[in-house]
Chains A and B, each alone.
Chain A
Amino acid sequence: MIPQMSRITRVLFENRSVATFELDACVDAEPGQFLMVWLPGEGEKPISIMDPDPLTITVARVGPFSTALHQRQVGDAVGWRGPFGRPFTVDGRHLLLVAGGYGAAPLHFLARRACDAGISTTLALGARTGDDLILVDRFRAIGCTTVLATDRGDVGYQGFVTDAILPDLAQFDRVAACGPEAMLYAVARMCWDAGVPAEVSLERYMKCGFGICGQCAMGDKLVCKDGPVFDIEELRHNRDFARFTRTATGRRVSL
């Protein structure tokens, strides 16, 4: 599928480095799937779907592409192709979402589907400081309970979000997580130990986005096609999970 162009209809700054863009499009997608977002002349990057209708993405400013996107305004055109990848499972009665940073974006889409399906949904969100906790009001508005944690302790629990929720893990019959890989590994470990079914959404450097180039290999999986969402049982023996990634040349390096 070749990219299509859509116009930005709304821009919301979540904090000093994260912005949400609403586009005049909707996409037939499942939570956890992603798009390849294209700015002609600036490049193309994988970005999760935060909401499918209207199509909404939430992007952290971390480098050239995201900075260029942040400079776009209402009325400007953005290209996209997708959706790509394997989505989260919408299932269970008590769902725990664990998010770090912009990992909250795909989990927002999942939370919406889960709440619509009558699943009681809790969001545990971690960040460095209170200002880095994004989308909290949106999660509350769709009916999620929220647990917040910050490294600094200025908002919520002081420390890792995984430590904040560990004592209550037994209350949940399914976990879904997205965020830094070290956090995902911590989530996987506690869910392996507790025997709670869990899925985590991973990132690798992507080129094609649909399973032809091999760039996003993680162990024997292709993150763009076999993932980005993986059941933690599939990752138990993965040699790369939380240990190795691949650079843009494809070289395997320690995380």
Chain B
Amino acid sequence: MSPEEVDLSTAICGVHLRNPTMLASGIVGLSGEVLARVARCGAGAVVTKSCSLKPRVGHPNPVVVDYGAGVINAVGLSNPGVEAMVAEIRDARELMGEERVPIVASVFAHSIYDFGTVARYISEAEPDLIEANISCPNVEEEFGQLFSSTPYVAAQVTRRVKSSTNIPVIVKLSPNVPNIAEVAKAVVAAGADAISAVNTAGPGMLLDVESARPVLTNRVGGLSGPAIRPLAVRCVYDIANAVSVPVIGIGGQSDGRDVAEMISVGAVAVGVGTAVYRRGMEVFRHMTTELAELMARLGIDSIERLRGRGLPAGAPGRPGSDA
């Protein structure tokens, strides 16, 4: 089999992707023009930076540092607000023209109620999918716990977002929980159409030993990149063992092999973050070429055949199983 014969197309909730590589949220995707450029670089779909009802400046610099094994960030969900993001999404779609790839709008809020409002507002831009980033603190809760921390709260957010839009909803989970499968089950029961996993791990901390100060002004930040890949693979494995909705695997993928690994544990597509800077925006084209070559070598001619090979027989996330 030659790489050209491999069918790389995939789908999320009926939305067709020419290949399984997607831009991850918060990675270069602030502007419509850059989103369109990422599409030109070969991405199967693009995800916007997460936006909230009001603009946010985020944490003061330093906010992102590469520590070799990975990246630590505490950008603090800075974003221009949902109104500006609606305009950026429209701009992206217009600039993509004929070469249009699906656009996923990522949203977050600090209360369950606002999650619904921001989802309704972003729907005006008619994104193909909405991704609810629930790895952010719930200010209505005494300790500001993340919405993603407890299955019950994650389900409440999901229900609120689902009742606010007709666009399919992806819920993005945090790996920083004792049992991610339980959270996945809860959000699916609450109506999530798809799941993406994972957001950054940790939080972690990095010190400058001379000044003995944390390098990030926020002191702690989320970890991404190759350092978290095995963690992300395990999370997706657990999720695909528990639910049958499409899963977007994210965390540390740098090349075609890593994409194949993620799809083998049940993902229908793969979000690419840290590698976009390490290998440049052309990473999407490189990854799909590498993936096609690898699949051809393995004699696997479609994403559907690759998917879930590493899952136990009968796992809900394995094609053909009707859990």
| A interface with B by C-beta (< 8 Å) | 1-3, 5, 36, 38, 40-41, 43-45, 77, 79, 81, 207-215, 217, 219-220, 222, 225, 239, 246-252
Question: Chain B, 214-254, contact with A by CB distance < 8 Å: what is the 0/1 string?
Answer: 01010000000000000000000000000000000000000
CA distance A229 to B64 in the complex (A): 22
Q: Give A247 to B80 CA distance when docked, in angstroms.
A: 8
- Are the CB atoms of A222 and B213 closer together than 8 Å? no
In the complex, what's the smallest C-beta–C-beta distance from A8 to chain B, in angstroms? 14
B1 within 8 A of A: no
Q: Within residues 50 to 64 of chain B, which ones have a CB less than 8 A from any CB in chain A?
A: 55-58, 60-64
Among B10-18, B65-73, B108-116, B286-294, the stretch that binds chain A is: B65-73
11 contacts between A and B (CB under 8 A): A1-B68, A2-B208, A41-B213, A79-B211, A211-B280, A213-B63, A222-B28, A246-B30, A249-B80, A250-B30, A251-B84
Quick one: which of A3, A77, A220 has the most chain B CB within 10 A? A220
User: CB < 8 Å: which of B58, B64, B211, B273 contacts A40?
Assistant: B211
Complex Cα distance, B75 from A41, in Å, reads 16
Stretch at the interface among B31-39, B126-134, B147-155, B180-188: B31-39
Is B206 interfacial (CB-CB < 8 Å)?
yes
Q: Considering residues A2, A210, A250, which has the most beta carbons from chain B within 10 angstroms of its beta carbon? A: A250
**9 new A-B contacts at CB < 8 Å, known A250-B31, A251-B81, A252-B84:** A2-B66, A5-B211, A38-B61, A41-B213, A208-B63, A211-B28, A211-B276, A212-B277, A248-B58
Indicate which residue in A1, A209, A215 contacts B78 across the interface (CB closer than 8 Å): A215
| Cβ–Cβ < 8 Å partners of A214 in chain B | 26-31, 34, 49
B322 at the interface (CB under 8 A from A): no
Q: Decide if the interface of chain A is mainly helix, strand, loop or mixed.
A: loop
> Does B19 lie at the interface of the complex (its beta carbon under 8 Å from any beta carbon of A)?
no
Closest to A248 in B: B57
Number of residue pairs spanning A and B whose beta carbons lie under 8 angstroms apart: 128
Chain A residues near B211 (CB-CB < 8 A): 5, 40, 77, 79
Q: Is the C-beta of B200 less than 8 angstroms from some C-beta in chain A? A: no
Q: Answer yes or no: B210 CB below 8 A from chain A CBs.
A: yes
Contact present for B63 and A2 (CB under 8 Å): no
Q: How far is the CA of A251 from the CA of B63 in the complex (A)?
A: 18
Q: CA A222 – CA B37 in complex, angstroms?
A: 11
Q: For the complex, what is the distance from the CA of A44 to the CA of B217, rounded to whole Å?
A: 9
Query: Does B174 count as interface, using CB distance less than 8 angstroms?
Result: no
Q: How far is the CB of B283 from chain A (nearest CB, A)?
A: 11
Contact A2 B84 (CB under 8 A): no
Is A252's CB under 8 angstroms from B206's CB?
A: no
Q: Say yes or no for B196: interface residue by CB 8 A criterion.
A: no
Asked if B28 and A212 sit within 8 Å, CB to CB, the answer is yes
CB closest chain-B residue, reference A81: B65
Query: What residues of A have a CB within 8 angstroms of the CB of B60 in the complex?
Result: 43
Question: What residue of chain B has the Cβ atom nearest to residue A65's Cβ?
Answer: B61
